[in-house]
Each structure stands twice: as structure tokens, then as C-alpha cells.
Structure 1
């Protein structure tokens, strides 16, 4: 369970205030995959960053009785001077995961060969993305946060990535941001629509999608 309690986030840019979360009170149930819908710039990524703990809200709080992932596939916290293996060791120790098991899983999954033992600063963007996705899947969480993640590599690698991703989602909850309604229908159970700083939860995913599509046809409220 993740509870947002009077959650508020306001940005000030060039003297103008923009509120992307306006006293939100909502509960994301345990073990449920939720599609997080909203316009571009509505604050979906900011909301995920607050839930993950990466960003602090302006006010209010986030309560949870389980573990919450960082955004799946996020590579921004890797140390470029450390090797792929060393970064895996660091993450494993931070999250209390067996180090050898994580290294074995990520090394086999990412298919980086000898590059796994080289500094990440030498990686291409695709190699870094494969490592990041593998690390995300190596840590068991109660809720996974997904922000427009997409598998990289050839068709066989994408198929393997999707298979592992779906397996993780079958055993945990998720909050998923994606512009692909097809993907959301495949992996999500319910939906939540963020509009003008207000978040509305829908037990019926199709109702959430239809509400979002209707919002997209309306002018943005300034």
C-alpha cells in the first residue's frame, strides 16, 4: 500500500508558480498495477520521483507498508568510474540483496560480455540502459515505478526483457507511466488520471483511459 496524504508539489519558474500536485489524497493498493495517466507536463514523472524518494514534496507526505523501487531502468545513480560489476555490488549492499546473486543475474541478463568489468563511462547508451534495466529487475520490490521504460537491443533481447518484466509485475504492484495505451492495458489493472494537480483513481482501467483521452481534447488550464 502507498498512501499519498495531502501531497503538494509547486514549482516556481521565471516568477510563475505551477502546482503539479494539489493536496492529493489517494491510496495505491498492495499488489495492483496502476496506469498513471496525464498530459505532457502534468507532473507524472514528478509524482513518481516523489514516491521513489528522489524528490521531496512541497508539503504532505507519502506512506508505505512495503518497498518501492526507483524508476525502472534509471541509470542516473550509477558511478561512471566504477565497473558494471562494482555498481551492482553497491546496489546489492544498499538494498540488502545477495551480492553474488545480483551480479550473476545482471551479468547474464545484460549480455555485456567483458564490458561488465569495465567502467560505465566507457559504455554506449544502449549498454548502460541494458545494465540499468537488469539491476532494476534484480531487486525484489513490493511496488515498481515505471516511467516510459522500453526494452533495448535486438528482438530476442527485447523478448527476454518483456518476459522478465511481466514476471516481476505478476508478483508485485506497479505505478506505470506510458503513452502506449496498448502497453498499459497489457500490464495494468486500474488507472489514475493527473489533471490540474488533482489525481483521480479509477478501479476500471478503461474508464481512466477514456477520461484521460477526453482531457487531452480540452484546452490546458493556465
Structure 2
């Protein structure tokens, strides 16, 4: 379960105050996958990061009673001056996983070879994406956070990503945002629409999509 309890999220930049969520309260149940919808700038990615714990609310609480991933493929938690190997071991220990098992999985999956021993600040964007996606798949979570599904690497590697991702999501819930309504329908049973700082759950994802499309006209 994930529960937002009177959550407010405000960004302040250059004297401008932007309210993403305004005292939002909602409960996401286990066994259900959710699609988050909203027009550009509504705060979809921010809401996902709040749920994952990558960002903290300005006010209120986010309560989690299940094992939740960081946003799929998200490499923002990696330290640029640490090697790929060091980053993987560090993240594995934070999540209580066997570092040797996780490292072996990522080394085999990401196919970075000797670059695992190079600081990731020297990685290309493609190499960083391979490491981040491999790390995301190395640890089994009860709920995966997905901020758009994008291809990683060439066709052969993208196929490997899809195969392992299919295995993971077969036994886990998903909370995702996407600009593709077909993708939302494929992955989610229920929808959350963000608008003007409010977050509303729709038990039928098609109803959420209909509301979103009206807002986006």
C-alpha cells in the first residue's frame, strides 16, 4: 500500500511558487496497477518520485507498506565519481540485497565489461542507461515505478530488457505515467488524474483517460 496523507509539494524558483500537489490524500492498494495522467506540467513525474521516496513532500506524509522501486531506469541516485561496480554494490546494500548476486546480474545484463570499473561520470548516456536499467531489474520489488517506457540500446539489448521486464511485472504492481494511452490501458487497471494540485483516483482506467483527454483539449 502507498498512502498520500495531506501531501503538499511546492517548488520555489526565481521567486516563482509552483504548487504541484495541494493537500492531496489518496490510497493506492496492493494488487492494483495505476496509471498517472495529467497535462504537461501537472506534476506526474514529481508525484512518482514522491511515491518512490526520491523526493520529500513540502508538507504531509507518504506512507509505504510495500517494497517500492525507484523510477525505472532512474540513475539519479548514482554517484558520478564512483565506479559502476561501486555504485551497484552500494545500492544493493541499501536495499538489503546480496551485493555479489546483484553485481553478477548487472554485469551480465548491462554488458559494460571493463567500464564497470570506471567512474560513471565517464559513461556515455547509453552506458548509463544500461547500468541504471540493469540495476532496476536486479532487485525484485513488490511495486515498480515507471516514468515513461523508453527503449534502451540497440534492438538486441532492447529485446533483453523487455524479456526481463515482463518477468518482473508478472509478479508486481506498477505505477506509471505515459503519453501513450494504449500503454496506460495495457499496464493499469485504475487511473489517477492530476489537475490544479488535486489527485483523483478513478477505479476504471478508461474513465481516467476520458477525464484527461477533456482536460487536454
Q: Which band: TM-score by shorter chain?
A: over 0.9
Structure 2 residue 2 is matched with structure 1 residue 2: yes
Helix, strand or coil: the match of 1:150?
coil
2:114 & 2:15 partners in 1: Cα distance? 50
How many pairs does the alignment contain?
217
Which residue is equivalent to 1:41? 41
Shift of 1:143: 1.6
Is contact 2:174–2:187 with CA below 8 Å preserved after alignment?
no
Q: Deviations along 1:61-102, whole A, 9 cap, x unmatched?
A: 111211221111111221222221221111111111111111
Report 1:1-222 matches (<5 A).
1-217=1-217
1:103 & 1:11 partners in 2: Cα distance? 36
Shift of 1:160: 1.4
Shift of 1:43: 1.0
2:32 & 2:191 partners in 1: Cα distance? 10
- 106-115 or 5-14: bigger deviation: 5-14
TM-score, normalization by structure 2: 0.93
Q: Deviations along 1:119-176, whole A, 9 cap, x unmatched?
A: 2122110010010011011112222111124121111211211222222122111210
Q: Structure 1: which 5+ residue stretches go unaligned?
A: 218-222
2:66 & 2:44 partners in 1: Cα distance? 21
Q: Structure 2: which 5+ residue stretches go unaligned?
A: none
Shift of 1:14: 4.2
Which residue is equivalent to 1:220? none
1:16 & 1:131 partners in 2: Cα distance? 36
Is contact 1:31–1:171 with CA below 8 Å preserved after alignment?
no
